[in-house]
Structure 1
């Protein structure tokens, strides 16, 4: 039998790169997509080092472009005859607070983290129905727990979680399983790619400066003890191969504990008491 095919978005670095390599090691043909295929060298080197280069295929895809998403999915199906799974991993971090943001900045965060997921999912669903496949979306603990100075990012991830939780029972009626995977802090380039000059950001923050400084200091500590991208990716690969994948998966004990606070916090006081401490 030919290897099952999985399309993965956002694979140039971090969790996405590790998902592609891990899926290939598990016997999947991994179609690894990224906005800039010139950044594929690290993925190709990792694939060579683990002996799975023949199972990894790099393709260009900017998930914000719905036409490109549809074309990419169609090309994958034309090349391989089927699509067995999708992993929506592409995303972008963002730090800011509403009073000091342009609405266009918030829209841009939503475009990548929410609508990008929808573009790929919409294009893939007919083919996942045909294969009775699975749809996996990497969200974040920030898709469950709102976090200071992550308003736009958490809003996008909350939206993805709500969308997928609502889609899951509908998709199940046509044989497609839907799972969200929630990492906590991961030691990848994701935070660096936010492009935040910390001192400049604090200086610009005005009345919010002390709170932003406290938040950034706390975040530095959290990421110093972060999970590795490979460990986070292992939870995604396990979901790919699980005969009965759960609708919600966390990638670490810390993530499970953090999400658990919200899911048992009916009045919101436990969450806000926790996150208020991040900005003091």
Structure 2
């Protein structure tokens, strides 16, 4: 029996955190595939990429920024929530505001943008790729805020996939450590060691494209992408 399913073409893809790290790699991959990347971030992306500057810790501002971006580029067929921050250290040593900001950006910012984007994704029968972490699979010391937020993103994504089945594709990306600025500015104890194996964000972005181009009726529910020698999994 011959399959009639054909991969989707890349259309307009909104990328949160698209100015650096994995988000920037996704922007490059979308553009290289002939799509139109559009960015929500606190910092402007590379020249020529449509964007709106926004602090994703503010859910109301995040939703408003998505509408402004749609005014620029039209209804998106994909959304990738790559924005994320961390606050390392023992719970008793992290300022309450810093701890809660991690949850606001990583979880509430993700939810706010997804919520605002859903009407457009339903129109285009599109796909949302939420970004968790291997620390959504297990907890580690001195990362309570990050683990709490990423565990929550995983649960949110699973529930969202059940809720939107047949209407909007939902893929949870679980990436391992990557060569990105995410670890910059940390004290030595919270940075990958000299022998750490980190993935190229371009490779992870390639997996995101695979999720975004699944034929209508086929979805990748969850994918783990990491360097072969990644130590944070299993």
Return the TM-score normalized by structure 1.
0.73
SS in 2 for 1:220: coil
Question: Counterpart of 1:228?
Answer: 200
Question: Counterpart of 1:14?
Answer: 21
Unpaired runs of at least 5, structure 1: 45-52, 199-212, 262-280
Q: 2:226 aligns with which of 230, 249, 252?
A: 252
SS in 1 for 2:55: coil
Question: Counterpart of 2:4?
Answer: none
Does the 8 Å CA contact 2:12/2:76 hold for their aligned counterparts? yes
Does the 8 Å CA contact 2:87/2:94 hold for their aligned counterparts? no
Q: 2:154 aligns with which of 158, 161, 174?
A: 161
Does the 8 Å CA contact 1:183/1:255 hold for their aligned counterparts? no
In the alignment, the residues of structure 1 paired with residue 93 and residue 35 of structure 2 have an alpha-carbon distance, to the nearest angstrom, of: 45
State the shift of 1:221 in Å: 4.2
Structure with bigger helix share is 1
- Structure 1 residues 256, 238: CA separation in 2 closer, same or farther (over 3 Å shift)? farther
Q: 1:241 aligns with which of 174, 199, 213?
A: 213
Q: 2:94 aligns with which of 84, 96, 101?
A: 101
Unpaired runs of at least 5, structure 2: 1-8
In the alignment, the residues of structure 2 paired with residue 168 and residue 257 of structure 1 have an alpha-carbon distance, to the nearest angstrom, of: 29
2:186 is aligned with 1:179: no
| Range with bigger deviation, 93-102 or 183-192 | 93-102
RMSD: 2.3
Q: Count matched residues.
A: 224
SS in 1 for 2:206: helix
Does the 8 Å CA contact 1:134/1:177 hold for their aligned counterparts? yes
